[in-house]
Amino acid sequence: MSMTAIIAGQGGLPAQLVAALEARGDPFVVAELDGFPADLPGTSPIRFRIERLALLLDDLARRGVSRVAFAGAIRRPRLDPEIFDPRTATLVPRLLAAIGQGDDAVLREVIAIFEDDEFEVVGAETLAPDLVPGAGLLAGAPDAADGRDAARAAEIVAGLGALDLGQGAVVAQGLCLAVETLPGTDAMLGFVARHAAGLRPDPKGAKGVFYKAPKPGQDRRIDLPTLGPATVRAAAAAGLAGIAWEAGGVILLDRARMVDAAREAGLFLWARER
């Protein structure tokens, strides 16, 4: 049986993948970037630094790892040029060139580095298919105005993604109230919550939709957008009608709690076909 390595960042996704592997009895190891500990009680993660990435690759190979999944948020660490090992130093030009092209390029280069060492890089849905739902409604039901707002938001998110910006937008009554940028989803929805009353043209019209989707052309094995119960609460606080996302392109963290929270708040949850 193949061994899986979870390269774990922060957030709830690493724990979901660990639970899925444990439930099937699949062997795995966890590796975490120094300074970005994953909250995974009961595991003993391998801690590594980017400056010694080649040593991590060698360690994973010795342990019998054949496939790798990246899960969770990691900010760019500050690098110490004095501690690069010789083989990792040879990778620096590749990484620097990718950094100059944006986050998507960095992620693609990281995948390529692992694949060069003959690891299979897989997405979260490979390990836990239930985390990425197909098309359909999970709670509530959007009306025609919500459908139009979701379609407009999808167009906006596609445009943002092409520029390597955010993966989400809020649209109400056909107007874009906010887009997701570096501060993230919570900051965007918080802005809408604070300013919603003055943003919607018709106070009695459509409340608005938060839409999320991967970037166009994104390698979906890494950095898929995620939604969770906290997102539902933030959307409710922003006074929105519901949350829509690209079917098959977004990870749901704790789907049952998301559905319960949406039903309690009167929001719809919609995995929307592209």
> What local confidence, expressed as pLDDT, does residue 210 receive?
98
Q: Residue 104: is its pLDDT beyond 70?
A: no
> What local confidence, expressed as pLDDT, does residue 1 receive?
62
* Domain residue ranges in the chain: 3-127, 132-272
Token pair listed for 91:
């990778």
d(C-alpha 241, C-alpha 258), whole Å: 15
> CB within 8 A of 246, min separation 6: which ones?
154, 212, 213, 214, 271, 272, 274
> What local confidence, expressed as pLDDT, does residue 273 receive?
92
> What local confidence, expressed as pLDDT, does residue 102 receive?
62
Q: Residue 274: is its pLDDT beyond 70?
A: yes
Highest mean pLDDT pick, 34-43, 208-217, 219-228: 208-217
Token pair listed for 3:
């061994």
> What local confidence, expressed as pLDDT, does residue 186 receive?
93
Q: Residue 78: is its pLDDT beyond 80?
A: no
Q: How many CB atoms lie within 10 A of CB 185?
A: 22
Residue 169 sits at φ, ψ, to 5 deg, of -155, 155
pLDDT digits (tens, 9 = 90+) for 50-69: 889 999 999 999 999 999 99
pLDDT digits (tens, 9 = 90+) for 119-167: 999 998 899 988 999 999 999 999 999 999 999 999 999 998 778 778 9
The H helix count followed by the E strand count for the chain is 10, 13
> CB within 8 A of 117, min separation 6: which ones?
57, 61
Token pair listed for 263:
């039903």
Q: Residue 236: is its pLDDT beyond 90?
A: yes
Name the nearest CA neighbour of 28 among 71, 62, 65: 65
Token pair listed for 138:
């999970």
pLDDT digits (tens, 9 = 90+) for 242-252: 999 999 999 99
> What local confidence, expressed as pLDDT, does residue 67 receive?
96
Sign of CA dihedral 231, 232, 235, 237: negative
% of the chain beyond a pLDDT of 70: 97
> What local confidence, expressed as pLDDT, does residue 99 receive?
67
CB-count burial class (<10 Å; 0-12, 13-18, 19+) for 269: buried
Which CATH superfamily is 132-272 part of? LpxI C-terminal catalytic domain (3.40.140.80)
Q: Residue 266: is its pLDDT beyond 80?
A: yes
d(C-alpha 69, C-alpha 119), whole Å: 10
Task: For residue 10, give the amino acid letter.
Answer: Q
Kindly state the average pLDDT of the residues 183-187: 91
CB-count burial class (<10 Å; 0-12, 13-18, 19+) for 266: exposed
Residues 178 and 147: beta-carbon distance below 8 Å: no
Strand partners, 244: 211, 270
Q: Residue 81: is its pLDDT beyond 90?
A: no
In the CATH hierarchy, which top-level class contains the domain 3-127? alpha beta
pTM of this prediction exceeds 0.75: yes
Name the nearest CA neighbour of 71 among 18, 113, 22, 34: 18
Token pair listed for 217:
């052309």
Q: Residue 100: is its pLDDT beyond 70?
A: no
